[in-house]
Amino acid sequence: MATKEDLSLAQVTALVRLKNKIDSLPKPVDGRDGKPGTQGPTGPKGEKGIQGAKGEQGPKGNKGDQGKEGQRGPAGPQGVKGDPGNKIISGANQPEANQGDEGDFYVQKKPLKFFGPKRLDNWGDGISLSALPEDDKKSSLTLAGILPQGQTGTGSGATVEIGTTTTGNAGTNASVTNTGTSSAAVFNFTIPRGANGTNGTNGTNGSDGADGADGATGAQGPAGNAATVAIGTVTTGAAGSSASVTNVGTSNAAVLTFSIPTGATGAAGSDGATGAQGPQGDTGPQGATGPQGPAGSNATVTAGTGIIVSSGEVSIDPNATFDGGSF
What confidence tens digit (pLDDT) does each residue in 222-270 have?
A: 776 777 888 889 899 888 888 888 988 998 888 878 888 887 776 776 8
What confidence tens digit (pLDDT) does each residue in 18-63 have?
A: 777 777 766 555 556 677 778 888 888 888 878 878 888 888 888 8
**Residue 115: inside a domain:** yes
**Residue 216: inside a domain:** no
* Amino acid of residue 120: L
* Interval 65-93 mean pLDDT: 78
**Residue 183: inside a domain:** yes
* Amino acid 327: pLDDT: 45
**Residue 12: inside a domain:** no
Q: Write out the residue range of the structural domain in which residue 133 sits.
A: 88-147+159-192
Quick one: pLDDT band at residue 122, thresholds 50, 70, 90? very high
**Residue 95: inside a domain:** yes
Indicate yes or no: pTM above 0.75.
Answer: no
Question: How many structural domains are present in the chain?
Answer: 1
Cα gap 103→86, rounded to integer Å: 6
Mean pLDDT of the chain: 75
